[in-house]
Amino acid sequence: MEIQKILVVGSGAMGSQIAMVCALAGLEVAVQDLAEASLEKAQSELRARVDRNVVKGRLSAEERDAAFARLSFDTDLAPAAEGVDFVIEAAVEKLDVKRELFAELDRLTPEHAILATNSSSFVPSRIADATGRPDRVVNMHFFNPALVMKCVEVVRGPQTSDATVDATVALTERIGKLPVVLDKEIPGFIANRLLGAVRDEAIRLLEGGYASVEAIDTAARTALGYPMGPFELMDLTGIDIGYYTKQGRFEETGDPADAPSRSVTEKVEAGELGRKTGKGWYDYTEGDH
Ligand code: 3HC
């Protein structure tokens, strides 16, 4: 199957950059989000990001304009879903929302379309049975910032067909990313599970009063060679993302060890979610970071 048209659902940091990566690779991309303001923010942020590549000589102005001409933005799902070959869902990390969305996508998209989710916490089998095409449901998990990070985890569920995995791997390569295929589904996949172990330990050190946010991040960067410390990374990806992931896991297992930590819960309740709100573990309003 030749993939020509993609639908990206959700225009947050992940959805918008995933859409741009696909448009830059020559695909026609519809981006759908219920919130008009989010679509507008996505467009202006993408313009600024991609303009930098033109200034740096990595992309011509014509290539940039052609990529933006391939992108369309819509608040309605039905027109955006028309004639698409592949969907990448990057909406909020809530299972009931995703299941409802996949049932609707199943009704609205052509029979042959593959329905992929960028979710890191919900494996294909949690979503696939909300559709009539469980063999064409797969996880295609990008990393933040999606314009930059090479890896895309491709995760198959028990019902995902080989053809779906092959098409997802081929699409990943076509958009210039590096596919990493998981043979069996597990929440968090590979990278987030590794990351989660480091993040949990960082929070334990902070909450135990052993070291400050700054000290822990500095050690991660300068002793381990991490590009950013665990707190800086939470601010980049959104503190709420990790919170919802843990909350979901806790609801499933009932194990207090899986529940969001006290300090993360406080940040979420205070609306301090990281860079996107101007404040998280660090303050971004005064240009100090
Ligand atoms: N969006 C798009 N591009 C960005 C960006 C953003 N938010 N932040 C930085 N960049 C670009 C910069 O524009 C720059 O591009 P340029 O070469 O054209 O100038 C390039 O990235 C390098 O940026 P900087 O020189 O400013 O800074 P760094 O060298 O520190 O790189 C980084 C920034 C790429 C974000 C790097 O710090 C990094 O790799 N950090 C770790 C990121 C990471 O671990 N991501 C995974 C998160 S987990 C996840 O996404 C899973 C999900 O389920 C939550």
Domains of the chain: 5-182 (3.40.50.720), 191-277 (1.10.1040.10)
pLDDT in the model for residue 289: 63
pLDDT in the model for residue 147: 97
Residue range 190-202, pLDDT digits in tens: 999 999 999 999 9
60 included as an active-site residue: no
- Residue 30: band (very low, low, confident or very high) from pLDDT cuts 50, 70, 90: very high
- Residue 252: band (very low, low, confident or very high) from pLDDT cuts 50, 70, 90: confident
pLDDT in the model for residue 94: 87
Closest atom, ligand 1, to C-alpha of 242: 54
Residue to probe by mutation, ligand 1, list 148, 194, 282, most atoms within 8 Å of CB? 148
pLDDT in the model for residue 288: 55
- Residue 63: band (very low, low, confident or very high) from pLDDT cuts 50, 70, 90: very high
Ligand 1 centroid to residue 172 C-alpha, Å:
19
How is the chain classified by DSSP, letter by letter? ----EEEEE--SHHHHHHHHHHHHTT-EEEEE-S-HHHHHHHHHHHHHHHHHHHHTTSS-HHHHHHHHHTEEEES-HHHHHTT-SEEEE---S-HHHHHHHHHHHHHHS-TT-EEEE--SSS-HHHHGGGSS-GGGEEEEE--SSTTT--EEEEE--TT--HHHHHHHHHHHHHTT-EEEEESS--TTTTHHHHHHHHHHHHHHHHHTTSS-HHHHHHHHHHHH--SS-HHHHHHHH-HHHHHHHHHHHHHHH--GGGSPPHHHHHHHHTT--BGGGTBSSSB-TTS--
pTM value is 0.93
144 included as an active-site residue: no
Residue range 66-76, pLDDT digits in tens: 999 999 999 99
192 included as an active-site residue: yes
